[in-house]
Chains A and B, each alone.
Chain A
Amino acid sequence: MNGIEGQAGRKTGCSTGHVFSPFIVKKKWIAPAALWIAALALGIYAKAPEIPGSHGPMAPRVSQLPPDPRELLFMLGVGSVVWYAVAMALPFLLLAARRVDTEKQKPARIARLSFAIFIALFLLTAVIEFLVAYRGMPSKPSFLSFLPVSLRQDLLAWIALAAFVVAFELRRRSMRARLERERLRAQIAEHRLVALTSQLHPHFLFNTLQGISTLIHRDPDAADEMLSKLSDLLRDLLRHRDTALVSLDEELKYIRTYLDISKFRFADRLSFTVEADQSVGKMKVPLFILQPLVENALNHGIGARAEGGKICVRAHQRGGRLQLEVEDNGGGLDAPPEDGVGLSNTRDRLHTMYGTDHSLELEAIATGGVIARIDVPTR
């Protein structure tokens, strides 16, 4: 049995989601499609009977009562060709309207195209009306002389259709825009919350308080300093609670305070450096974006090592890109890197801010340790 791997591969290639999704898509079309088909069927059926002695398509029949229901149906059929055409055209025009991109296409071009479609539909309907109305007649007027009749009869229908399509599409777009705005607003609020809560991680906060409580007894000055660093951190946090972006200078200042406190926590088993190019200080970055990376480096790179370690935070400009790095000299990656809550939050936040134009990578270094690297466009 050599085909095992192939079979296993096939299994993963097939997902049940694909089986069900078309059904779901179809479902919401059932009601409009049924209406549309019913209207067309009525029209086609109504055109079928031959009425003896009928003359002229638009003869003033309206003034007389039709003698039998079949003739009424015929009137519905021939006299209303335009309405069936409207019914047929409606879904296609709605779909076409949906594809109009007002940002990429010029208004003049859209107007020209719409007008052309309008004229084409009108002419097509007029031809069909002409053919249906004078079917089997010995003498036909010229098509040109029929046009004004058709125009008078059909113009209103086509204008109504155009108005309906435009109104429907505008409403759809405004609702979509509103939904999108709501979604964005919720997302921004949520990301700000994530930034703040990841900041005020109970683990960090209470371990810091524990550290202060310990130092009070042994080294009151150190306890004092740790307390004032914690206050700095909380002040930064409060000051930025309504901000999504901060300057890199602010972010690095914040990271320094965070690392200063961590130095106390790890009882001098930790040393760190923070370097930044002069040109990058004023660039904007998402608030506290570096903190989860530093926390990771502390927990996995330093915390797990009895002899402690070193953390380097760097910010460089490379071409039009901003590169942020957090490097530790801990044990490296003993398993393929796996995103904890902190890292996956960071990825989410980068995605909201930069779309796909960003990267966040973890790389093991040959000498031991890990570099976490964020690459984003400069702002």
Chain B
Amino acid sequence: MKSIRALIVDDEPLTRERVRDLAARAEGIAIVGEGANGLQALDLITRHKPDLIFIDVEMPELNGFGVIAELDDDSAPAVIFITAYEQYAKKAFDVGAVDYLHKPITPSRFAAAIARAREKLERPSVAEWRRLVAAASEAERARGSRKRFVVKSGSTHYFVQVDDVDWIDAADNYLRLHVGQKTHFARGTMKQAEDELDSDKFVRIHRSAIIAVNRIRAIRNTESGSHIVELNDGMQLSSSRQYFRRVSELLS
């Protein structure tokens, strides 16, 4: 039997220890890394591409659902959620996680979850994985408008606060966040970003541009009937008529 390469992510050291112990007792599981928070989880997943992750739903900053929402098709591990809450466990199951484990974790329940994970790993499905990511994003969105982006540099992940972002444009499947002189890349589409950001603070002015409302310095009409939006840092962006309606609503 091929050994399953697994990752443990929980902010409680004693929970990680328990999972480690139980995994050691089960056959054919190799723990390749342990993380204490969401950002560490993303770093470890990028680095190790594990087959399976045990991940705590409730962690400060970036929680379990938030981690899954940031993953792409390249690294599509089987996911077992760990949680103290009944309702999260049910949700985890509904969104297509392999299984969930209640705290405190019992050996029999752990063994059952591992059996399910093996089954799952024998017939991997990208469609199922995408459903899980979509559902995790949905769960994140339900918590309110986005407060920060997770961005990646090499295999290291970090946060960019939404309030620091001047404007956003699209680059392939990524969002390009402009923060002062710096540029960061975050996962997502313009549509998602528009939906997730606070609509009082950010406005989409073009198919491929979203700007922070409080960075607007001036707006000029052009001869062709479209508009030029100038930001405080001097950046000039054009706004198509279709989207400019929303801008004028916001400013009137």
Contacts and interface: CB of A to CB of B under 8 A. Distances in A.
Instruction: Specify the main secondary structure of chain B where it touches its partner.
Output: mixed
Contact of A267 (B13, B147, B159): B13
A210 B213 CA distance: 47
A214 interface: yes
Contacts of B163: 335-336
A214 B37 contact: no
B219 interface: yes
Interface residues of B, number: 33
Contacts of B120: none
Contact of B147 (A11, A266, A335): A335
Contact of B104 (A7, A8, A206, A303): A206
Contacts of A210: 12, 14-15, 18, 84, 103-105
Contacts of A299: 11, 60
A322 B58 CA distance: 34
Contact of A266 (B13, B59, B84, B148): B13
B218 A215 contact: no
B14 A303 contact: no
B218 A304 contact: no
A49 to B, nearest CB: 60
A158 interface: no
Contact of A265 (B12, B59, B250, B251): B12
Q: Which of A205, A214, A269 is the most central at the interface, judged by chain B CB atoms within 10 Å of its CB?
A: A214
B14 A214 contact: yes
Interface in A199-216: 202-203, 205-207, 209-215
A265 B61 CA distance: 19
Contact of B218 (A2, A266, A267): A2
A214 B15 contact: yes
B60 A303 contact: yes
A28 interface: no
B12 A213 contact: no
Contacts of A207: 12, 14-15, 84, 103
A209 B104 contact: yes
Interface in B30-72: 36-37, 58-61
Interface residues of A, number: 34
Interface string B189-231: 0000000000000000000000001001011100000000000
A306 interface: yes
B104 to A, nearest CB: 4
A167 B21 CA distance: 77
B88 to A, nearest CB: 10
B16 to A, nearest CB: 9
Contact of B161 (A11, A213, A300, A335): A335
B104 A4 contact: no
A211 B251 contact: no
Interface string B110-153: 00000000000000000000000000000000000001100000
A266 B252 CA distance: 52
Contacts of B37: 303-304
A334 B252 CA distance: 33
Given A1-B219, A334-B161, A205 B84 contact: yes
B184 interface: no
A217 interface: yes
Contacts of B148: 335
A36 interface: no
10 contacts: A4-B216, A4-B251, A11-B251, A206-B84, A206-B102, A210-B14, A214-B14, A217-B21, A299-B60, A304-B60
Interface of A: 1-2, 4, 7-8, 11, 202-203, 205-207, 209-215, 217-218, 264-267, 269, 299-300, 303-304, 306, 334-336, 338
Interface of B: 11-15, 17-18, 21, 36-37, 58-61, 84-85, 102-105, 147-148, 159, 161, 163, 213, 216, 218-220, 250-252
